[in-house]
Structure 1
Amino acid sequence: MCPAEHDCPFQDLLQPLTAAGEQFTYFNIPALNPQKYDRLPFCIRVLLESAVRNCDNFQVLKSDVERILSWEEHQRAGVEVPFRPARVLLQDFTGVPAVVDFAAMRDAVKSLNGDPAKINPICPADLVIDHSVQVDYTRSSDALLRNQKLEFERNRERFVFLKWGASAFKNMLIVPPGSGIVHQVNLEFLARVVFGSSSGGGATLYPDSLVGTDSHTTMINGLGVLGWGVGGIEAEAVMLGQAISLVLPEVIGYKITGELSPLSTSTDVVLTITKHLREVGVVGKFVEFFGAGVEQLSLADRATISNMCPEYGATTAYFPVDPAASAYLKQTGRDQKQIAVIEAYLKAVKMFRNYGDSSQDPVYTQVVELDLASVVPSMSGPKRPHDRVAVEHVKEDFQRCLSNKVGFKGFGLPAESLSKKVPFTYRGTEYTLSHGSVVIAAITSCTNTSNPSVMLGAGMLARNAVAAGLSVAPYIKTSLSPGSGVVTHYLEHSGVLPSLNALGFDVVGYGCMTCIGNSGPLDDEVLRAIEENELVCAGVLSGNRNFEGRIHPSTRANYLASPLLVIAYAIAGTLNIDFKTEPLGYNKEGRPVFLSEIWPSRSEVREVEETSVLPAMFQEVYSNITTGSDDWNELPCPDTELYPWDELSTYIKNPPFFQGITRELPAIESIRGARVLLNLPDSVTTDHISPAGSIARNSPAARYLAKSKLTPREFNSYGSRRGNDAVMARGTFANIRLVNKMVGRAAPRAVHQPSGEELDVFDCAERYKAENIPVIVLTGKEYGSGSSRDWAAKGPYMLGVRAVIAESYERIHRSNLVGMGILPLQFMQGDSADSLGLDGTETYDIILPDTIAPSITVSVKVNGSEREFTALLRFDTEVEVTYFRHGGILQYMVRKLAA
């Protein structure tokens, strides 16, 4: 319903709807203007409905509705519109800081004599604990239990804190660890598709929509639920009832035609689309899929494509609901009556799609096309998810990468080292490693483990391989981390799980593991052979991210692949293989076995899928989803309104964001005498900025934890310590692959000016703080691309970064910088640090005008008045200006609720 019905300009659109024998109400948005509405992309129709339903002439104006309805005229005009999602999705790495901030905001509101209980999610929030489990144990039947045991030992404080949040905050569901990956749980269980559809008669129906604190939130678009990833601080504002401001997007229509070849998989489709859309250029845009070929894709296939949306740079990648989506809801155990209500509502508002009916095709900004028949088996790597390589070319492509100059497709090895062979002994047997040797093979991540076709395909390939006498070398770290317990059920039911186990792919955990760097340690013998000989060894994983230093510090080449190809490369043990001409391996009789002999076709996989993936499996797994394990249920939980912070905790710490907050707004001041903390190149990702992965023993974070009397074994990961700002600040810009041009090599180091002393980034920032000198960052294009990590903005804030000057930004990261009160400046077209002769040794004055507005230019003076250039101030909306004036979005919310 409208927030204030008596003020709602669209109350006359509220109409009754009879569905499944019950009466509901809904906003009849097609009646606004049938001609305009029918031309709108389906994803824009969701934005329009939200604006109509939430129109209160305060956060959402009647003019906002008119702008969205007239999308065709405004799509390229940079028009700002509000969006109030129906819910928020959190995972524990990003969810813990959100709950920490909520707890700290309660303290801050109390300090301003407000009511702390007002700090409560207004918008429903679901948090799935899925990022804490690591692959410490594998290749054993008890690996799952041992990894889960370690997970609880390492994360006890975090889990206690989250249990407190679940009880202290209303309207927040927490799914305990061991349940699955957040995006798969969202797809299989949390998604409503239509809100009110399960509420019974009298409810107002409206489309499910969401924002999530993980960039792969976009996966849910495969089910026709509009959603995308935002920074944690932006998600917190939504949880507190704020609308998101976004520029009305262009919508790229992606037309799919034809049929896949029998040997191609959905993973091959998504890697092809990822590369294609990167070439098209869809950053900041919506993508909507249409065409008769969509009907050839299962719902899981569509979700796989939507999952990879951040890798091709779009904001969201939308598949409107159709009969296949309804069938998926039935397969995953949703109530049949609820499904009937969903269909009736979506048909009433013209959001139910028939992909074979071209008369339903809306107008798009641009149309691009893919013939599924053109898709071939593919991988992506060695360092970026959109660098697709056809499998038949992987060997030659990798060998070129070895000698190419250092870059996304190069390692810069000298010619004399290319054929290096390194013998080593592992468990009493001698093996050989070389460049391209596979040392990690992981079926992991939300991208593919939600898709029965590729998971069962991998199992069938494993069954055929075992039958053919093939095996995987024992030094290769193999693992299988399903996205939910349902996967294990259907792998067992189909009879392929024993074969996966025989090849070393035992279930090691239900969570996001290898793909986010929770790959655990390599065996010492393997590690020594790699590091002492500077080998470019490989990880092959069914994930969505393969940026440098992400999977494991010692796997310099990492390739994204279907679960089937993960199995194939694990057996081969190397990237240096042409599957067409070289055998995968040899059986006990010495006969060569080729991959083509054991590869299952799509029709074979489909036949097994139809008999193995059953609704009862989903109902069994999700009926007790919030119950948790005995370890979870035995955790103690404080029963308090305010969180009792433990000053000695190294996991959960009261952040300093609200220290000294007053009801009055702080004055806006120009930045004077700033030094450059870092001068960075193009394509610096949030993996380079945000603390992630293991905590290096020689890092500032390690030194901090050691002072707390923790041993290296107890350091855990940065992800697990996201609730401790002291650890996270020390881990900001700590990626070993970070290239600071002032240092001249890959290392997490900075150069203090004017002394010229080289220090760890954190230590350099602390030196500047002690000298009362503000710092800035210079950088190139696509700054902040990658995951939507709030600490990629919070960390620089903690280091004292007042401004970033970049050639261009990734959408989410720029927004997060604003949310933390950091100025996002952009060089004018054609300018860069290099073209302006800036090397980072200078001082900078950034002159701010008395009145700040979106997209104004500011003057930047270098070395006093020695040089001067103009930069664009990247506040894109008036709301962002408001946040900055308050010092950040959280300070804005505290003042608002305290008042």
Structure 2
Amino acid sequence: MYQQTLSTAYESVRIHSLQSLKHRGIVNVDDLPFTMKILLESLMRNQSRLGLTEQDLIQVARRTRSNEPVEIPFLPTRVIMQDASGVPALVDMVSFRQRMMEEGINPSQVNPAIPVDLVIDHSVQVDYSGSESAFSKNLHLEYERNQERYEFLKWAQQSFKGFRVIPPANGIIHQVNLECLTKVVQLTNHDQVRMAHPEIIIGTDSHTTMVNALGVLGWGVGGIEAEAAMLGIPVSISVPEVVGVEITGQMNEGVTATDVALTITQLLRKHNVVGKFVEFFGPGLKRLSLPDRATIANMAPEYGATCGFFPVDEETLTFLRMTGKRDVEVNLVEQYCKEQGLFHTSESSGNRRVYSDLLTFDLQTVEASVSGPRRPQDRMPIREVRKSFPKSLSPIQSNGTNTPSTELKDGSIVIAAITSCTNTSNPVNMIGAGLLAKKAVEYGLTVPKSIQTSLAPGSKAVTGYLQKAGLLPYLEKLGFYHAGYGCAVCVGNSGKLDEEVEKSIKEQDLTVAAVLSGNRNFEGRIHALVKANYLVSPPLVIAFALAGTMDIDMESEPLGRSISGKEIYLKDIWPSSDEIASIVNSTISSEIFREAYEHVFEGDERWQSLEYEDDPIFKWNDQSTYFKASPFFKAELNEHRQPGEMNQAKVLLMVGDSITTDHISPVGQIPYDSTAGKYLMEQDVELADFNSYGSRRGNYEVLVRGTFAHPRLKNKLVDKTGGYTLYVPSGEEMDVYSASIKYQQENTPLIILAGKDYGMGSARDWAAKGTYLLGVKAVIAESFERIHRSNLAMMGIVPLQFMPGENYESLNLTGLETFSIIGLNEPLSPFQEVMVVATKENGSKTTFQTVLRLDTRMEIELYMKKGIFQSILGQWEKSLTR
């Protein structure tokens, strides 16, 4: 009905024409944001399969003009995963195969319905740093620690059709996706017809949004939602509002894309774009390189948006050519996007498009910035860093030498890391860091030995052009040796600090700092002993490392002294934009990217030597502490999880604002004295082999014990921090896991009371899975972050939101009450009001209304079916042949 032929320079293909909607008088697509056009094309292409009508298309098209929520089924074209979140999803898939076999169904029929890529990038730790051998030693340890996991992934690569693995040491998921895997416009064969259509990607990492820089609509979901998509089940979404952001002006000298991203994050958080699409357009776009856009798009989870989208334009085509795409691929992108009205030009500056809201962002207003010490949106100019520090700091005193002081005190920096996808995809940032290092070395400046320094680039292309530019030796001279290709410090894999440094921090109770070019700086995330964490650009990571402290105003105070005794300021070593551009232009080429990705799926000798069994069913090792069959397809797990009213429920935790998925499902090393650590010791695992929570996400026994075990979690039911709670019936304080076991043995339903932004942070499915296994049936919060709320809903846990202006404090709730949630056994509607009754020990009652945050009818249907896993099981048992 909507198909037309598109003739390119290389072949003719069929497309679902957006203009056909206009010509038939259905929708004026010229008025629509780019993101809405992409959604509409997907609905047109899958209209028959999804059972949609023309009226459904019209409703979607009118969403930007209306406040009426519109729910649609949605089919992505590809799923991308990293190993930390991908492994548990695969464990579920393998367990599902096993259940199918038990039902007499051929397990080989269970395969991803759409292409799935998994990039191994979350397992490298900075155990070694500051030396030439750091990379090889860290990689050796990575394989040693993770051999069992990697054998599992290699088995999965061979066993599942449509599933690819990018082995370790090839780069960070989002950078590999941006530079290698993404096509922008896909060609697929459908009924012997060659069909062209936009890529739409969902990923099990919240920063999947980085691909929006290429004009590809994509966002992060929990592993649970990704699993549904992998099994061909449409994802139900409520079509979001689209906030247009017009970019004007140009960046001032000395300002980086990181500064722009941090400033935009602060602006959009303040504007509240949570759960919305953000779409950038305007004349300023031509002054942002694609890596600049990627830096901004990457941070969408930090400003709360579902995505931060940049439309395809000439810069997109330039980037595709630079990263080694063939002419035929680039031509298809250009022709398709121009035909479909998806190509941004200076003439299409947004005057005709209708947005739900419209903002303007002037690049010229941005200044050098720092965000911290605990949240990405807490941005400030670098001159105000001292004021932001958790403890009072006095002005820095120069020690009169060319060597910074190594004496630790409050404000001292102990970690300086150029790491994370956010910034290491940006040649201007990375070349700028290399030039700054070169000038610092030439002045004789050095970095204190007490600082763990590391360089973890996003792809091999980065080290390629740094070597070609001759800048790597200067970074190394300051201690920034290449430590690995992976998320590393940004995800909490920072290893151990120097023994004397850790001792000083503990003995003196110091508040020390980390500076990193990452995107997350939540308390306790980077390292358990580091309370203050700051996000900065790669050049500023080095500058702060040279100063050795956050106790400095870099605009007016020196970083140190040169060999001759001259005071050296930041402005003395900051490279000019012309210097950076000259080296970028002379070193960045498509050959560097082709070389980096030529053998990306093959892996090194260690990967190739990994052994696996050629069998459609994975052979579980009963002695394994890394892998256990998923519990979620077991019927007995759901015996006591009937949907409907909850009575006699108790509070497991009562927490405040900004509880992150890090608090709920921790990252980083497993402490020996934690509940998970005690479990591993019971399994005869040595402390040295504990590894990280992320590496053990294939073992639900570890993860459920790690849920709400974060050392800085503040549960208001108890006076101490960490994974503790009150077992209300006896008044005993105990760890959260032990309390949940006691409650579950008594068939007592559990709830969580929370403040604002509950579940912010990484798209971590185990934050919901662990909550489920602890016996929690409802979470009542002032507000939810998008991905975690969705994950809770898909696990059959009811998210309820306090009415505006109300919270547990205003309602005088102590958390010791017994709760009843009334009306959940009646026909439900998204966002309806639900009554909660809290009964105190003296019998008095507090009754209050909440909003049901099962936001779509599909989420309600999943709740009634006890969650996504039981729903999947039912559908596949009906559809698959025996």
Q: Give the TM-score range, shorter chain.
A: over 0.9
CA spacing shift, 1:525–1:617, aligned 2, 3 Å: same
1:869 pairs with 2:867: no
Is the 1:420–1:435 contact (alpha carbons within 8 Å) kept by the matching residues of 2?
Answer: no
Matched residue of 2:417: which SS?
Answer: strand
Is the 1:582–1:594 contact (alpha carbons within 8 Å) kept by the matching residues of 2?
Answer: yes
Q: In structure 1, how many angstroms separate the alpha carbons of the residues matched to 2:547 and 2:678?
A: 41
- Other-structure match for 2:300: 309
- Other-structure match for 1:224: 215
1:166 pairs with 2:166: no
Q: In structure 1, how many angstroms separate the alpha carbons of the residues matched to 2:807 and 2:758?
A: 13
| Structure 1 range deviating more: 238-247 or 328-337 | 238-247
- TM-score of the superposition, structure 1-length normalised? 0.94
Is the 1:118–1:897 contact (alpha carbons within 8 Å) kept by the matching residues of 2?
Answer: no
- Other-structure match for 1:8: none
Q: In structure 1, how many angstroms separate the alpha carbons of the residues matched to 2:728 and 2:339?
A: 65
Matched residue of 2:848: which SS?
Answer: strand
- Report deviation, 1:198: 12
Matched residue of 2:453: which SS?
Answer: strand
| Structure 1 range deviating more: 282-291 or 864-873 | 864-873
1:855 pairs with 2:818: no
1:885 corresponds to which letter in structure 2? M
1:892 pairs with 2:871: yes
In percent, how many aligned pairs have the same letter? 48
- What is the CA deviation profile of residues 751-790 of structure 1, one whole-angstrom value per residue up to 9, with x for unaligned ones? 1112111111112212222333221111111111111110
CA spacing shift, 1:357–1:797, aligned 2, 3 Å: closer
- Report deviation, 1:269: 0.6
1:883 corresponds to which letter in structure 2? L
- What is the CA deviation profile of residues 523-551 of structure 1, one whole-angstrom value per residue up to 9, with x for unaligned ones? 11001111111111000000000000000
Structure-to-structure mapping, 1:125-164, within 5 angstroms: 125-164=116-155
- Other-structure match for 1:433: 408
Q: In structure 2, how many angstroms separate the alpha carbons of the residues matched to 1:64 and 1:665?
A: 38
Give unmatched runs, 5+ long, in structure 1.
Answer: 1-11, 404-416, 424-428
Q: In structure 1, how many angstroms separate the alpha carbons of the residues matched to 2:189 and 2:848?
A: 58
Matched residue of 1:368: which SS?
Answer: strand
- Report deviation, 1:88: 0.6
- Other-structure match for 1:67: 59
* Match of residue 29, structure 1, among 9, 18, 22: 18
- Report deviation, 1:133: 0.3
* Match of residue 648, structure 2, among 652, 668, 673: 673
- What is the CA deviation profile of residues 730-756 of structure 1, one whole-angstrom value per residue up to 9, with x for unaligned ones? 100111111111113432210111211
Q: Which runs of 4+ in 1 moved over 4 A?
A: 417-421, 661-667
- Other-structure match for 1:375: 366
- Report deviation, 1:336: 1.0
Q: In structure 2, how many angstroms separate the alpha carbons of the residues matched to 1:798 and 1:532?
A: 38
1:653 pairs with 2:632: no
2:322 corresponds to which letter in structure 1? Q
- What is the CA deviation profile of residues 160-202 of structure 1, one whole-angstrom value per residue up to 9, with x for unaligned ones? 1111111111111110011100000000001110001999x95
* Match of residue 784, structure 1, among 749, 752, 759: 759
Is the 1:264–1:602 contact (alpha carbons within 8 Å) kept by the matching residues of 2?
Answer: no
1:21 corresponds to which letter in structure 2? Y
Structure-to-structure mapping, 1:360-759, within 5 angstroms: 361-398=352-389, 401-403=390-392, 431-660=406-635, 667-759=642-734
- Report deviation, 1:204: 0.5
* Match of residue 282, structure 2, among 288, 291, 299: 291
Is the 2:64–2:241 contact (alpha carbons within 8 Å) kept by the matching residues of 1?
Answer: no
* Match of residue 883, structure 1, among 859, 862, 867: 862
Is the 2:281–2:350 contact (alpha carbons within 8 Å) kept by the matching residues of 1?
Answer: no
Is the 2:752–2:779 contact (alpha carbons within 8 Å) kept by the matching residues of 1?
Answer: yes
CA spacing shift, 1:793–1:662, aligned 2, 3 Å: closer
1:770 corresponds to which letter in structure 2? Q
Q: In structure 1, how many angstroms separate the alpha carbons of the residues matched to 2:282 and 2:180?
A: 28
1:216 corresponds to which letter in structure 2? H
Is the 1:691–1:731 contact (alpha carbons within 8 Å) kept by the matching residues of 2?
Answer: yes
1:55 corresponds to which letter in structure 2? Q
Q: In structure 1, how many angstroms separate the alpha carbons of the residues matched to 2:213 and 2:748?
A: 48
Q: In structure 2, how many angstroms separate the alpha carbons of the residues matched to 1:600 and 1:663?
A: 61
CA spacing shift, 1:752–1:420, aligned 2, 3 Å: farther
Q: In structure 2, how many angstroms separate the alpha carbons of the residues matched to 1:489 and 1:179?
A: 12
CA spacing shift, 1:794–1:420, aligned 2, 3 Å: farther
Q: In structure 2, how many angstroms separate the alpha carbons of the residues matched to 1:430 and 1:211?
A: 47
2:855 corresponds to which letter in structure 1? D
2:658 corresponds to which letter in structure 1? S
Is the 2:781–2:800 contact (alpha carbons within 8 Å) kept by the matching residues of 1?
Answer: yes
| Structure 1 range deviating more: 745-754 or 369-378 | 745-754
- Other-structure match for 2:41: 49
- Other-structure match for 2:82: 91
Q: In structure 1, how many angstroms separate the alpha carbons of the residues matched to 2:385 and 2:349?
A: 38
Is the 1:64–1:82 contact (alpha carbons within 8 Å) kept by the matching residues of 2?
Answer: no
Matched residue of 1:434: which SS?
Answer: coil
| Structure 1 range deviating more: 248-257 or 740-749 | 740-749
Q: In structure 1, how many angstroms separate the alpha carbons of the residues matched to 2:180 and 2:234?
A: 25
- What is the CA deviation profile of residues 479-503 of structure 1, one whole-angstrom value per residue up to 9, with x for unaligned ones? 0000000000000000100000000
Is the 2:455–2:483 contact (alpha carbons within 8 Å) kept by the matching residues of 1?
Answer: yes
Is the 1:112–1:663 contact (alpha carbons within 8 Å) kept by the matching residues of 2?
Answer: no
2:587 corresponds to which letter in structure 1? S
Matched residue of 1:196: which SS?
Answer: strand
Is the 1:819–1:880 contact (alpha carbons within 8 Å) kept by the matching residues of 2?
Answer: yes
Q: In structure 1, how many angstroms separate the alpha carbons of the residues matched to 2:405 and 2:6?
A: 72
| Structure 1 range deviating more: 535-544 or 244-253 | 244-253
- Other-structure match for 1:762: 737
Q: In structure 1, how many angstroms separate the alpha carbons of the residues matched to 2:165 and 2:861?
A: 32
- Other-structure match for 1:244: 235
Q: In structure 2, how many angstroms separate the alpha carbons of the residues matched to 1:359 and 1:644?
A: 56
- What is the CA deviation profile of residues 97-121 of structure 1, one whole-angstrom value per residue up to 9, with x for unaligned ones? 1100101111222333334233210
- Report deviation, 1:837: 1.5
Q: In structure 1, how many angstroms separate the alpha carbons of the residues matched to 2:289 and 2:396?
A: 45
Q: In structure 1, how many angstroms separate the alpha carbons of the residues matched to 2:722 and 2:394?
A: 24
- Report deviation, 1:361: 4.7
| RMSD, aligned CA | 2.1
2:751 corresponds to which letter in structure 1? I
Is the 1:197–1:342 contact (alpha carbons within 8 Å) kept by the matching residues of 2?
Answer: no
2:117 corresponds to which letter in structure 1? D
Q: What is the count of residue pairs matched by the alignment?
A: 865
Q: In structure 2, how many angstroms separate the alpha carbons of the residues matched to 1:687 and 1:821?
A: 21
- What is the CA deviation profile of residues 70-119 of structure 1, one whole-angstrom value per residue up to 9, with x for unaligned ones? 23444x21111222111111000000011001011112223333342332
Is the 2:405–2:448 contact (alpha carbons within 8 Å) kept by the matching residues of 1?
Answer: no
Matched residue of 1:433: which SS?
Answer: coil
- Report deviation, 1:802: 1.2
Is the 2:642–2:866 contact (alpha carbons within 8 Å) kept by the matching residues of 1?
Answer: no
Q: In structure 2, how many angstroms separate the alpha carbons of the residues matched to 1:874 and 1:450?
A: 36
2:21 corresponds to which letter in structure 1? L
- Report deviation, 1:666: 7.9
| Structure 1 range deviating more: 836-845 or 609-618 | 836-845
CA spacing shift, 1:430–1:441, aligned 2, 3 Å: closer
CA spacing shift, 1:307–1:355, aligned 2, 3 Å: farther
Give unmatched runs, 5+ long, in structure 2.
Answer: none
Q: In structure 1, how many angstroms separate the alpha carbons of the residues matched to 2:205 and 2:302?
A: 13
Q: In structure 1, how many angstroms separate the alpha carbons of the residues matched to 2:593 and 2:405?
A: 45
Is the 2:782–2:801 contact (alpha carbons within 8 Å) kept by the matching residues of 1?
Answer: yes
Q: In structure 2, how many angstroms separate the alpha carbons of the residues matched to 1:874 and 1:834?
A: 21
Matched residue of 1:33: which SS?
Answer: helix
